[in-house]
Amino acid sequence: DAGVIQSPRHEVTEMGQEVTLRCKPISGHNSLFWYRQTMMRGLELLIYFNNNVPIDDSGMPEDRFSAKMPNASFSTLKIQPSEPRDSAVYFCASSLRGPSTDTQYFGPGTRLTVL
């Protein structure tokens, strides 16, 4: 199994530009999670999907952030416009049934730098 796949692995962009992060969950997993990790705030859950439906997006910091899951094998996290404070490592994770009891498997992350 390839595990959770994220792209790009590194992204450097200028303030004001649109950024799109991509994730392919493990095949057969029904839940997908987007996290952001910074030194100051640690690992924060942004949003999670169950069966492609957003269940909890209370962690999305503001309207500049949006996430979609058009099918079971693909999700995107978009930041528009990006700001320097969005610089962080963004992780995607998936689990078989959901967060209540299941292990979450993390992708390698996308390191985003906004200049």
Applying CB under 8 A, the residues found at the interface with other proteins are: 33, 42-45, 48, 50, 55-56, 58-59, 91, 98-101, 103-109
Q: Which is nearer to other proteins, 15 or 55 (CB)?
A: 55
Q: Shortest approach of other proteins to residue 17 CB, angstroms?
A: 25
Total residue count of the chain as it appears in this document: 115
Q: What is the largest CA-CA distance in the chain?
A: 40
Cis? peptide before 81, omega within 30° of 0: yes
- Of 30 and 81, the one with the shorter C-beta distance to other proteins is 30
Least Å distance, CB 91 to other proteins, is 6
Structure tokens at 28: 């057969």
Shortest Cβ distance from residue 8 to other proteins (Å)?
15
DSSP 8-state secondary structure symbol assigned to residue 87: -
Measured from the CB atom, is 34 or 86 closer to other proteins? 34
Distance CA 80, CA 65 (A): 7
Q: Nearer to other proteins by C-beta: 82 or 104?
A: 104
Q: Minimum Å distance from CB 15 to other proteins? A: 25
Extract the tokens encoding 18.
């649109």
The tokens for 31 are: 């839940």
